[in-house]
Structure 1
Amino acid sequence: MYDAEFLDRLTNGVKGLMPVWQTAADADVKLLTISENATFHIDDTALGRSLVVRVHRPGYHSEAEILSELAWIEALRRDGVVATPRPIAARDGSLLQTFFDGETARHAVAFEFMSGREPDTETDLAKWYGKLGEINARLHRHSQAWTRPDQFIRKTWDFDRIIGDRAYWGDWREALGLTPDGRAILERTHAQLASQTRLYGYGGDRFGLVHCDMRAANLLVDGDRLGVIDFDDCGLSWFAYDFAAAISFMEHEPFIPDLMAAWLEGYRRVAPLGAEHEAALPMFIMLRRMQLTAWIASHAETPTAQSMGATYTDGTVALAERYLIEHS
């Protein structure tokens, strides 16, 4: 799926759409990243335009879901909640475009280019996670107050859809390299998380519209500004789950307590966060880790999954074993 021929087809599909975004036909088009969605940079030096185009994976989000994401982004920008790129409309005002890759329809959305770099995990990550806590608090307050437009629809990330029977990203039991002993540990952890999330509940003070993927790869630092990109996984979930998602793929690192402390301090500079919600953070970190372990297994063809492999599964089992001891 990720061979040169496939990427050439996607690149040509993006080039075919460039006129609708009023960019020159000979503008430079380069692939930025690919995991499930593919992201391209269009640099039109003649017109001084720079766009980022996201080509959606088929069969995941409906047109209504993608347009709902864009509606929230526009509301967040209008209300000054977070620095995030503006969706770019076509000549006819439409925000969602489609091209065909053979018989497969591919949806594409353009955004203005946002400058910046990913926060450096070696030096300044805690500083930026303090700012991220502030952003999360503003976003959650907005989520609770915002009146969603008619036809608004996004996925719900509850226990059942994260690692339960209807999980969107597959079954963690298919994890790469999972041993019988490791499976037994994760089965106990699964049962405990099911009980604990049920007790924590889904009330309006803790469950609502969240970004759900503010990991370092989706943050852009430029001077003192912290920008947030990629609302592709935004949906209804626990507010505290936003922190768990923000440390995706590095849950095992020794600096995570420092990031959590910085995030909590930043959050509380903007909005209160009670002890009950702080105490729930380890639960959501473990829940997210198991979800990502399932994702790696069900998306083994992706570069991200291939870079993690069975080592990530082993780390998940180790974290789960510690979680059972410390949070039963």
Structure 2
Amino acid sequence: MEVHDLSGGAGVLARVEEAARRALRRYDLSPHAAVTLISVSENATFAVEDSGSRTILRVHRLGYHTLDAIVSELDWLEALRAEAGIRTPAVIPARDGSRVVTVEDPGAERRACVMFEFLPGGEPAEDRLAEHFEPLGALTARMHRHAREWARPSAFTRFHWDCDAAFGPIARWGRWQDGAGVDKEAHAVLTRLEAALRDRLGRFGKGRERYGLIHADLRLANLLVDGQAGTSVIDFDDCGLGWYLYDFGAAVSFIEHHPQVPQMIDSWLRGYRTVLDLPKDDEDEIWTFVMFRRLLLVAWIGSHTGVEFARELGAGYTRGACELAERYLSGSL
């Protein structure tokens, strides 16, 4: 696993902000444009204010994606917008027409940067989650239908979200065994969970109707609900090849214990089936993908200790994962 360089503290973030300011010089912006850090997760995201207009600049972490992979992400994001009617943020090209610009980061490699339009809306309200999951199911199915039909560019390249990427020797987000609070007892439970997931997903298979190009991070924070415009999908940074049902597992990221999850599942399925068929055998594995994502997130928290949200979740998230794992393994989910 690559070291998450953006977890390196205030000094690194100061350099990343300087890289962001250098990137802005490549765009048609005034020299007085204001740059404000919004968040740090896999990448650093900045709001850019210039003469009353607002855009979003993403500064990439080092070592996570190649330039070809970033271009491939943008190709799909733009195709969804143009061909499937999915509201995604438009990519704003630099002055020379480049969609991806690279700039010097003092003391590091060159960083890739992408500018997006600012889209209105906010995260779905927690007291109306089940209600939001029906349109989310339909939206997800439209994305899956496009992914199946889309002729990818010849240079298209994105990584996989399969068992090897999750639990293999070079796991993408690190080893769950190194997660916060993984003591002897938790290790035993989660080892059983990993074995069960590998077995069930091995039998589920990677047939064309089950495995393909997915967003892979359709959690609530990446949905913008606007009363007039509808729902927008942002942050395609993790999009790649995986099981289509993984997109539901990602949708309940960090809220897997919510008492409305069964209703969310029913609502999501109802919406999904207005666009695409979903066989009963696939529906029966929904909790498999919830637990697959949950175990990945235990690893993510352990490998992102410099990210405030990961620190806040900490060992409590691992304890919750063990509780859910016991229920899953006993067949009570």
Q: Which bracket does the TM-score occupy, shorter chain normalised?
A: over 0.9
- Which amino acid counterpart does residue 30 of structure 1 have in structure 2? T
RMSD: 1.4
- Tell me which of 145, 148, 157 is aligned to 2:149: 145
CA apart distance, 1:327: 6.7
Alignment match of 1:256 (pick from 255, 261, 281): 261
> Displacement of 1:2 after TM fit?
5.4
1:203 equivalent to 2:201? Answer no
**Alignment-derived partner of residue 35 in structure 1:** 41
- In the alignment, the residues of structure 1 paired with residue 253 and residue 30 of structure 2 have an alpha-carbon distance, to the nearest angstrom, of 38
- 1:230 correspondence with 2:235: yes
Q: Which residue does 2:21 correspond to in 1?
A: 15
Query: Is the CA contact (8 Å cut-off) linking 1:68 and 1:152 kept in structure 2?
Result: yes
1:140–1:239 Cα contact (<8 Å) kept: yes
The Cα of 1:5 is off from its aligned counterpart by 3.6
Pairing of 1:245-284 with structure 2 (within 5 A):
245-284=250-289
Q: How far off its partner does 1:130 sit? A: 1.1
Paired residue for 2:58, among 54, 69, 78?
A: 54
For 2:178, give the aligned amino acid: E
Q: Which amino acid aligns with 1:18?
A: L
| Matches for 1:139-218 after TM superposition, within 5 Å | 139-218=143-222
Q: Distance in 1 between matches of 2:11 and 2:172?
A: 28
Select the residue among 107, 123, 127 that pairs with 2:112: 107
- The residue that corresponds to 1:323 in the other structure is 328
Cα deviation code 1:253-296 (max 9, x no counterpart) = 21111111111111011111111111110001111100000111
Counterparts of 2:162 and 2:8, CA distance in 1: 31
Letter in 2 for 1:289: R
Gaps of 5+ in 1: none
CA distance in 1, matches of 2:275, 2:250: 20
Q: Which amino acid aligns with 1:180?
A: K
Q: Which AA in structure 2 matches 1:194?
A: R
Shift of 1:210: 0.3
Alignment counterpart, residue 313 of structure 2, candidates 305, 308, 313:
308
CA distance in 2 between partners of 1:36 and 1:280 (Å): 28
SS of 2:140's equivalent in the other structure is helix
Aligned to 2:4: none
Q: Is the 8 A contact 1:15 1:25 kept in 2?
A: no
Measured in 2, the distance between the counterparts of 1:4 and 1:170 equals: 23
Structure 1 residue matching 2:38: 3-state secondary structure = strand
Aligned-pair CA distance for 1:12 = 2.2
Q: Contact 1:41–1:52 (CA<8 Å) still a contact in 2?
A: yes
AA aligned opposite 2:181: G
Q: Is the 8 A contact 2:130 2:267 kept in 1?
A: yes
Partner amino acid for 1:155?
F
Residue 158 of structure 1 and its aligned partner are, at CA, apart by: 0.8
TM-score, length basis structure 1: 0.96
Q: Secondary structure at the match of 1:39?
A: strand
Number of aligned residue pairs: 325
Maintained 8 Å contact 1:55/1:108: yes
Give 1:80 deviation, angstroms: 3.2
**Cα pair 1:81 1:135 within 8 Å, conserved:** no
Structure 2 length normalisation: TM-score? Answer: 0.94
Look up the equivalent residue of 1:32 and give its one-letter code: I
Contact 1:128 1:226 in 2 (8 A): no
Once the two structures are superposed, residues 101-127 of structure 1 have per-residue CA deviations (whole angstroms, 9 ceiling, x without a partner) of 223221110001101111111x22222
Q: How far apart are the structure 2 equivalents of 1:148 and 1:325?
A: 41
Q: SS of the residue aligned with 2:161? A: coil
Partners of 1:134 and 1:91 lie apart in 2 by 37
Distance in structure 2 (CA, Å) of the matches to 1:54 and 1:316: 31
Cα displacement (A) at 1:6: 3.0
Amino acid corresponding to residue 283 of structure 1 in structure 2: T
On the 8 A contact 1:136/1:242 being kept in 2, the answer is yes
1:110-129 pair list within 5 angstroms: 110-121=115-126, 123-129=127-133
Cα distance between partner residues in 1 of 2:325 and 2:311? 22
Distance 1:59 1:32 in 2: 21
CA contact (8 A) 2:164 2:171 kept: yes
SS at match of 1:177: coil
Query: Tell me, what secondary structure is at the counterpart of 1:21?
Result: coil
Which residue identity lines up with residue 165 of structure 1 in the other structure? P
